[in-house]
Structure 1
Amino acid sequence: MRRLLVGLAAATVLVAATACGSSDSSGSSGKNASSGGTTTLNMGLIPIVDVAPLYLGRQKGFYSKRGLKLSMTMAQGGAAIVPGVVSGQFQFGFSNMTSLMIAQSNGVPVKAVANGVASTGVAGKDFGAMVVKKGSSLKSAKDLEGKKVAVNTLKNINETAVRASMRKAGADPDKVTFVELAFDQMPAALDKGRIDAAMVVEPALATIRSQGGTEIASSLVDIAKNLTVAMYFTSTQYAQQHPDLVKKFQEATAESLAYADAHPGEVRAIVTTYTKIPAAVLARVTLPKWPAEPDRASIESLEKLGEQDGLFKKTPDLDKLLP
């Protein structure tokens, strides 16, 4: 939580996190720019499979036909994207629900505007999982006590997911050491023994499986069936000042989500344009679900776990946060 508030004061530093961005990552800086009837929207994203619909939507013209041009910038996680959106560096961002709830509980003015990504709800066949290296003696979340587990952001959704799996297995989540690593750094760290387990999402999950790694828990599924993992959001100020652009973004994103859900082959192809995943590994990627609407009940389950883990200064107001 302190990291989030500190980040708000230093949001402009986030530009340094663009090394993994797409070829269209230059864009306009700070405020959205309009030219010839087209408005450029700066997007804060994470280089994972989850955001494939936006790249597909841009490619298929779903945004351009509404007068929108997306400029993508990559960051490590939702906790880093939130301050960029609030400061005006990004007009919209992609963030997991825990980061958004933490932000709101700290008085940060954020507003979710479009659904992002959901778990498949099927244990053993989800796009996120707790994994260990080939030959590991760890067989379930119960074995994680006293071990080092990597998550992309501390005190956030993936840490909550690990804790949920450990509680379900009868283990004490306070007896694990969490290590913060970017998803794309987890395969090497696991393979070299710097960590004992990792909570990963695709495409890092497929990379670890290609190395012989195995899944010991479907941690997102352990939180709630059909969990709404993340959403696209903006600042409350931007939503109030630019309702027309928010509506266009919502419409284009809804079309993009539906297209991605119906065209898995094209999803796999577009992922190669903004990640470094090899084609052979890409074929093993488990795709998430991209429903049109968030699952409120699953978000409420995530909220309760966040409160149990002490993540919120006060109970998030979901009526104000959600569309």
Structure 2
Amino acid sequence: MRRLLIGLAATTVLVTATACGSSDPSGSSDQNSSSGGTTTVKVGLIPIVDVAPLYLGQAKGIFAKHGLKLEITTAQSGAAIVPGVVSGQFQFGFSNVTSLMIAQTNSVPVQAVANAIASTGVQGKDFGAITVKGDSPIKSAKDLEGKTVANNALKNINETAVRESVRKAGGDPDKVKFVELAFDQMPAALDSGQVDAAMVVEPALATVKSQGGREIASPFLDVAPNLTIAMYFASTQYTQQNPDVVKKFQEATAESLAYADAHPDEARDIVTTYTKIPAAVLADVVLPKWPAEPNRASIDALAKLGEADGLFKSTPDLDKLLP
């Protein structure tokens, strides 16, 4: 199933999710399991630094304190996780905000339930960046015209962000060629010359730098200061039928986010449990911000750019989508 999810393009996945979901998308019968007062919920995550608070919260007993046990499955992108949540394969998932807006405007029943991550808000010191080889002639985002740029999902948040960086640098984003590649494959692809640039996030960003690569732009900041990038979500049916479990997940996630923000060294260490990043590289990883609440103004800006790039069938209804 994981390979199938990863292999599907975002739009196809989203449309298929509504047509080929299971008969019980709520997941309330056999997907949720309870034992001794603890409910096991299945969660779809991407193996990147962003989700460290959930792994940390599980390890520190925060979710157990709230009566939950997480059963985690990984995927390449938020676009790949959406159909798993809608079909009931997962009760909760991690996704960037653009994927959730695309889903909603494709009539896919999703609901954001908790905040996940935000940009650091500091140019050149964010957890995501457009990177090139150390000896690349590319000096700015404008130089990406006519070049190939790797993204983890096409027609999604990272492509929108790169396009905005190109615009702000005085270039034409329509002249950039985007290719889809998993984050953990980007450092090797960049080093070998398979791509000219890569839009990477941690820990792949630290790996690229360890190979002599360099940053040319902080695209999340070009979208909006302190951009809310991703959130945890569920299907609308699941939230309606399992409000008690959703509330427990929200409370445990908020507590885990706060713990990770207050204990960056522990957050950094937990990343080694679900990625293959070497300890020496881990020390250079830039951590994102993990605020308790989403930044609505930044999401509005992201939605407008997504509309301009033709990602949505209609204007996203953020009042319905956001918690």
Q: Same fold (TM over 0.5)?
A: yes
SS of the residue corresponding to residue 229 of structure 1 reads strand
Query: Is structure 2 residue 31 aligned with structure 1 residue 31?
Result: yes
User: 2:188 aligns to what?
Assistant: 188
CA–CA separation in structure 1 for the residues paired with 2:16 and 2:140: 36
The equivalences for 1:229-244 within 5 A come to: 229-244=229-244
Runs of 4+ in 1 over 4 A off after TM superposition: 7-12
CA–CA separation in structure 2 for the residues paired with 1:30 and 1:89: 10
User: 1:198 aligns to what?
Assistant: 198
What is the CA-CA distance between 1:11 and the residue it aligns to? 6.5
What is the CA-CA distance between 1:194 and the residue it aligns to? 0.4
Write out per-residue CA displacement over residues 245-302 of structure 1, whole angstroms, 9 at most, x where no aligned residue.
0000000000000000010100111000000000000000000000010000000000
CA–CA separation in structure 2 for the residues paired with 1:11 and 1:56: 31
Mean alpha-carbon deviation: is it higher for 57-66 or for 293-302?
Answer: 57-66
Q: Conserved in 2, the CA contact under 8 Å of 1:7 and 1:80?
A: no
- Point out where structure 1 has 5 or more consecutive residues left out of the alignment: 13-27
SS of the residue corresponding to residue 306 of structure 2 reads helix
User: 2:226 aligns to what?
Assistant: 226
Q: Conserved in 2, the CA contact under 8 Å of 1:31 and 1:88?
A: yes
Q: Sort the Cα spacing of 1:98 and 1:291 in 2 relative to 1 into closer, same or farther, 3 A.
A: same
User: 1:272 aligns to what?
Assistant: 272
SS of the residue corresponding to residue 288 of structure 2 reads coil
Q: Conserved in 2, the CA contact under 8 Å of 1:145 and 1:172?
A: yes
What is the CA-CA distance between 1:74 and the residue it aligns to? 0.2
CA–CA separation in structure 1 for the residues paired with 2:256 and 2:113: 14
What letter is aligned with 2:257? L
The equivalences for 1:287-302 within 5 A come to: 287-302=287-302
Q: Sort the Cα spacing of 1:181 and 1:11 in 2 relative to 1 into closer, same or farther, 3 A.
A: farther
CA–CA separation in structure 2 for the residues paired with 1:35 and 1:60: 19
CA–CA separation in structure 1 for the residues paired with 2:18 and 2:269: 35
What letter is aligned with 1:164? E
Q: Sort the Cα spacing of 1:107 and 1:60 in 2 relative to 1 into closer, same or farther, 3 A.
A: same
CA–CA separation in structure 1 for the residues paired with 2:81 and 2:232: 11
CA–CA separation in structure 2 for the residues paired with 1:48 and 1:11: 27
Q: Conserved in 2, the CA contact under 8 Å of 1:30 and 1:89?
A: no
What letter is aligned with 1:264? P
Write out per-residue CA displacement over residues 29-56 of structure 1, whole angstroms, 9 at most, x where no aligned residue.
9611111211101000000000000001
The equivalences for 1:1-323 within 5 A come to: 1-9=11-19, 31-323=31-323
SS of the residue corresponding to residue 122 of structure 1 reads coil
What letter is aligned with 2:271? V
Q: Conserved in 2, the CA contact under 8 Å of 1:149 and 1:176?
A: yes
Aligned-residue CA RMSD in angstroms?
1.4
Mean alpha-carbon deviation: is it higher for 90-99 or for 58-67?
Answer: 58-67
CA–CA separation in structure 1 for the residues paired with 2:148 and 2:20: 30
Q: Conserved in 2, the CA contact under 8 Å of 1:129 and 1:205?
A: yes
CA–CA separation in structure 1 for the residues paired with 2:172 and 2:96: 25
SS of the residue corresponding to residue 63 of structure 1 reads helix
Q: Conserved in 2, the CA contact under 8 Å of 1:86 and 1:110?
A: yes
Q: Conserved in 1, the CA contact under 8 Å of 2:14 and 2:108?
A: no
Write out per-residue CA displacement over residues 196-216 of structure 1, whole angstroms, 9 at most, x where no aligned residue.
000010000000000010000
Aligned residues: 308
What is the CA-CA distance between 1:8 and the residue it aligns to? 4.9
CA–CA separation in structure 2 for the residues paired with 1:5 and 1:35: 35
CA–CA separation in structure 1 for the residues paired with 2:273 and 2:174: 39
CA–CA separation in structure 2 for the residues paired with 1:10 and 1:126: 38
CA–CA separation in structure 1 for the residues paired with 2:116 and 2:127: 14
Q: Conserved in 1, the CA contact under 8 Å of 2:17 and 2:108?
A: no
Q: Sort the Cα spacing of 1:212 and 1:7 in 2 relative to 1 into closer, same or farther, 3 A.
A: farther
What letter is aligned with 1:166? V
CA–CA separation in structure 1 for the residues paired with 2:58 and 2:169: 42
Q: Conserved in 2, the CA contact under 8 Å of 1:96 and 1:229?
A: yes
CA–CA separation in structure 2 for the residues paired with 1:281 and 1:208: 10
